[in-house]
Chain A
Amino acid sequence: MSKTSNHAIPAANPISHRPSWSSKKEKKAKLNLSIFRGALLPVSVLLTWQILSTNEIIPSQLFPPPSLIFQTFIEMISSGELFHHLKISIVRALLGFTIGGVSGLLIGLFVGMFQRAEQYINPTVQMLRAIPLLAITPLFILWFGFGELSKVLLISLGAFFPMYVNTFLGARNVDSKLFDVTRVLEFSRVQQVTKLVLPSALPNVLLGLRLSLSIAWMCLVVAELMGADAGIGYLIQEARSFMRTEVIFLGILLFAAVGKLSDSLVRVLESWLLHWQDNYKG
């Protein structure tokens, strides 16, 4: 029995030690296979959907066939309508995110660095954080009207908290051992902030940025659904009243796509800014 196994091993070796061109090909085949496996479910769902919907087995009014959604997409792009609404939504979200994110960063840094500031400010912020945004929306409409101001403020309020919480955490995570080093090297107070606290807090700040961006995007939907005359949320709202389900689907897909895109952008920023990190594998 041992004899047969001895023979089997050298016979198997030449196969596993293939030349590199072949293993490259093999890798590509493996990749293709995994793409195929990943795409199998969504593609078959889309196909089934298409067949069921065009044959009216499911009501095409509620589940418009994917081909129609795609057709609408092309039409709205060529008419410039889609771009118009998308632009307005993105400007709103970015404006709100900038106001909320920057104030979250500054206040979070301040509160993180001074114990006294934490005692004065943090309890109030944590209390405000617990209020659901939807609950304040009516107040915002009463105070600031249906215009841009209430929308941007709602978005910035949503974007503020994740940035604040994570920056605060980051500023608290500064290694006290490195703080001793800055004392021996006679860093000024400003240098301690720019050369120690900020870089130490950077991983948390970037996490805050990511969460804050995605919350800004979600608040945008709330803000636009509560009443707007342009934007992706408006597009969805209007399509609902005209029973144009395919436009609703399109709006949802756009929210998903832009949300994913902005998240990927922050990930790129992360891998660029945090390449010094020992544990960063992203």
Chain B
Amino acid sequence: MPNTMLELTALNKTFYSSDYTTHVLDHIHLTIETGEFITLIGPSGCGKSTLLKIIAGLDVDYTGEVQLGGEKVNAPSQEKGFIFQEHRLFPWLTVEQNIAAELSLKDASIKQKVDELISLVKLSGFEKSYPKQLSGGMSQRVAIARALLRNPKVLLLDEPFGALDAFTRNHMQEALLDIWRSNRTTMVLVTHDIDESLFLSNRVIVLDTKPGRIKASIPIDLPYPRKRSGKAFQELRAKLIALLEHETVDKQDWQI
């Protein structure tokens, strides 16, 4: 019963400046099903973050169309939860106030949902802490809880764990998988980390650079939880590296 959640049609994006123009995204077509976990991977400068901002409605300077659940996207909204590379919490609010943000914790139903999310992201006991007292990984989990409180149709994550150390990053990836498996929220995650994309997603979208276009769409059928050291994982990893590094990979392998 897969149905379409996100549909990108003929997306083009060009940056203009006084002395040069950069064609960032070139004719992007992409369909994402409800409940899928997609990762967008590609070299830096391939426009993957720009693509995510367009989906979020944060960037509206493009041609083509983005549809979410059959409706055209033209502005940011709570339906499209966005996790930035940095946690972007309000420093003057406590953890629970940050998750509630513009909503009032005095409302019992909101307070209850916030408490549930705090235990989902394993931050119980830190409700009253301020962002300055949290580690990078904890802050990012607060940001995820803040997005989830709004029941987003899709959660867009822009290199959310890029700034974390390797140990915390693995931990966060597992936490994100837990959330995905319990909520089944459609996820689109931008990364430049091959292991991360193989560990998390159902499907890896490989982007090419200059101009950014979709090079390959690779379904990952490995069962969860995945073992990073497993043979199948390593084989996929090698192929993905080859695809990212060399232009001359037999594209037949990848069922484009």
Contact = CB atoms under 8 A, between A and B. Distances in A.
B212 to A, nearest CB: 21
Contact of B76 (A186, A199, A275): A186
Interface in A225-276: 275-276
A113 interface: no
B56 interface: yes
Contacts of A188: 102
Contacts of A183: 58, 75-76
A229 to B, nearest CB: 47
A37 interface: no
B56 A184 contact: yes
A184 B76 contact: yes
A277 B132 CA distance: 8
B58 A195 contact: no
Contact of B102 (A185, A275, A276, A278): A185
Interface in B42-87: 56, 58, 75-78, 80-82, 84, 86
Majority SS of interface residues in chain B?
Answer: loop
Nearest to B75: A183
A185 to B, nearest CB: 5
Given A177-B88, A178-B88, A185-B102, A276 B130 contact: yes
Interface string A187-200: 11001000110010
Nearest to B80: A184
Contact of B77 (A177, A184, A275): A184
Majority SS of interface residues in chain A?
Answer: helix
Contacts, number: 55
A275 B80 CA distance: 33
A173 to B, nearest CB: 13
B90 A199 contact: yes
A276 B132 contact: yes
Contacts of A186: 76-78, 102
Contact of A195 (B80, B86, B101): B101
14 contacts: A180-B58, A180-B84, A181-B84, A183-B75, A184-B56, A184-B81, A184-B82, A185-B102, A185-B146, A185-B150, A187-B101, A276-B93, A276-B130, A278-B132
Interface of A: 177-178, 180-181, 183-188, 191, 195-196, 199, 202, 275-278
Given A178-B88, A195-B101, A278-B91, 15 more contacts: A180-B76, A181-B88, A184-B77, A184-B81, A184-B82, A184-B147, A185-B78, A186-B76, A186-B77, A186-B78, A195-B90, A195-B102, A276-B92, A276-B93, A278-B132
